[in-house]
Amino acid sequence: MTAPTVLCILLNYRTPAMTLRAAEAALADLHSVGGELVIVDNASADGSYEMIAAEVAARGWAVDDLVRIVASPVNGGFGAGNNIGLRMRLRDGRVPDYYYILNSDAFPDAGCTAALMAHLEAHPEAGIACSHVRGEDNVVHTTAFRFPSIAGEFVGAARLRVFERMMPHAPVPMPQPSATCQVDWSAGASMMMRASMLEAIGLFDETFFLYFEETDLCLRAARAGWSCWYVPDSRVVHIGSVSTGMKTKRRMPSYWYDSRRHYFIKNHGRIYAVTALLAHLMGGVLHRLRAGIAGRKPQDPNWFLADLIAHSTTPYRLSPEDRS
């Protein structure tokens, strides 16, 4: 019986030094499972491709195509960039058994990829396996989630424990699991996917520029009978939001609202999407009333509810300015 094969995909967007650091960590871990690595530069247009190519050659990674680099002609977003790698094969022309998507600011611990692969090998019904994620400060990141729903929109926006107790399975973030368990979806920072599943359900929906694309893919997988698993023995350090700058933004970018809207309409229809919007607005108003009474600022980004309403009635904003 031949050993399973895996192709790791690193997507770079204007973070070449960070991507090389992630590549180094990935290669060290992939060595134990004989994995290969592809770096996709997502039309950075800042010299990233040339810098990464030069470093790959200088470090000897280009020998025997140990690391391959691909330049995307356009920045189509997270899903479109990763799809370039997901359409690639191994050096010998074979389709890998598994594709492993790793963020350019994520660094696997030893045994990370082996743990994900072992779980998928042991559970043929499992299509997706994701890692335990922590920050550089060792704070654990929430990466186990339920699918968004009308109830989840209301409870998440209201931020009141009474509603969380009344509808314990509504909030999208799950309590942090301590053991391997099935989840609805998990963050795409460290995600291994079965190639046969992708062949059956398709790749990332490229309508999503950023956000909700992995949620959508996991939902499509679930509807086709594949399960998604959180595997805490697989561990990565993740900095987060390096390419997007989301940590420093006070207002959500247009593409977040567009992605949310597309997710609900695509997967549940327009009536459901409108109801989910109303549920979120109702919860958001309750949160603001409570925050005002307590003399605190709402926890949402600036102009959040106004932007949510605006994006529910306007066409998707697909210009590069909105997506940068």
pLDDT, tens digit (0-9, with 9 covering 90-100), for 66-88: 899 999 999 999 999 999 999 99
When mean pLDDT is compared across 191-195, 246-250, 253-257, the lowest value belongs to 246-250
Write out pLDDT tens, residues 283-324: 999 999 999 999 999 999 999 999 999 998 876 554 333 343
Question: What pLDDT does residue 249 have?
Answer: 63
Nearest C-alpha neighbor of 311 from the set 236, 245, 244, 256: 256
**Given this model, what pLDDT does residue 250 score?**
83
Q: Is 193 helix (H, G, I), strand (E, B) or coil?
A: strand
Q: Residue range 222-231: average pLDDT?
A: 98
Backbone angles phi, psi at 7, to 5 degrees: -115, 120
Predicted pLDDT of residue 314: 73
Residue 146, both tokens: 């339920």
For the structural domain made of 6-140+176-238, what CATH number should be given? 3.90.550.10
What is the Cα–Cα distance from 6 to 315, expressed in whole angstroms? 39
pLDDT of residue 81: 98
- Dump pLDDT digits (tens) for 136-179: 999 999 999 999 999 999 999 999 999 999 999 999 999 999 99
Q: What integer is the mean pLDDT of 242-261?
A: 77
Q: From CA 161, how far away is CA 164, in angstroms rounded?
A: 5
What tokens does 101 get? 């998507």
CA pair distance 172, 104, nearest whole angstrom: 25
Segment 260-274 shows an average pLDDT of 96
* Cα–Cα distance for residue pair 223/219, rounded to 1 Å: 6
pLDDT above 70 as % of the chain = 94
Counting DSSP H helices and E strands in the chain, the numbers are 12, 11
pLDDT band for 240, please (50, 70, 90 cuts). confident
Q: Give the domain ranges of the chain.
A: 6-140+176-238, 254-323
User: Please, are residues 34 and 120 in contact by the beta-carbon 8 Å criterion?
Assistant: no
Q: How many residues in the chain?
A: 324
pLDDT band for position 219 (cuts 50, 70, 90):
very high
- Give which of 167, 49, 191, 198 is closest to 113, Cα–Cα: 191
CA distance linking residue 146 with residue 260, whole number of Å: 15
pLDDT at 264 (0 to 100): 97
Question: How much is the pTM?
Answer: 0.93
Please tell me the distance from the alpha carbon of residue 311 to that of residue 25, in angstroms, as a whole number: 39
Q: Decide if 237 contacts 136 (C-beta within 8 A).
A: yes
Residue % of the chain over a pLDDT of 90: 90
Q: State the alpha helices, DSSP H only, in the chain.
A: 16-30, 48-58, 78-86, 112-122, 150-158, 161-166, 195-201, 213-223, 254-268, 270-294, 304-311, 320-323
pLDDT averaged over every residue in the chain:
93
| Predicted pLDDT of residue 2 | 86
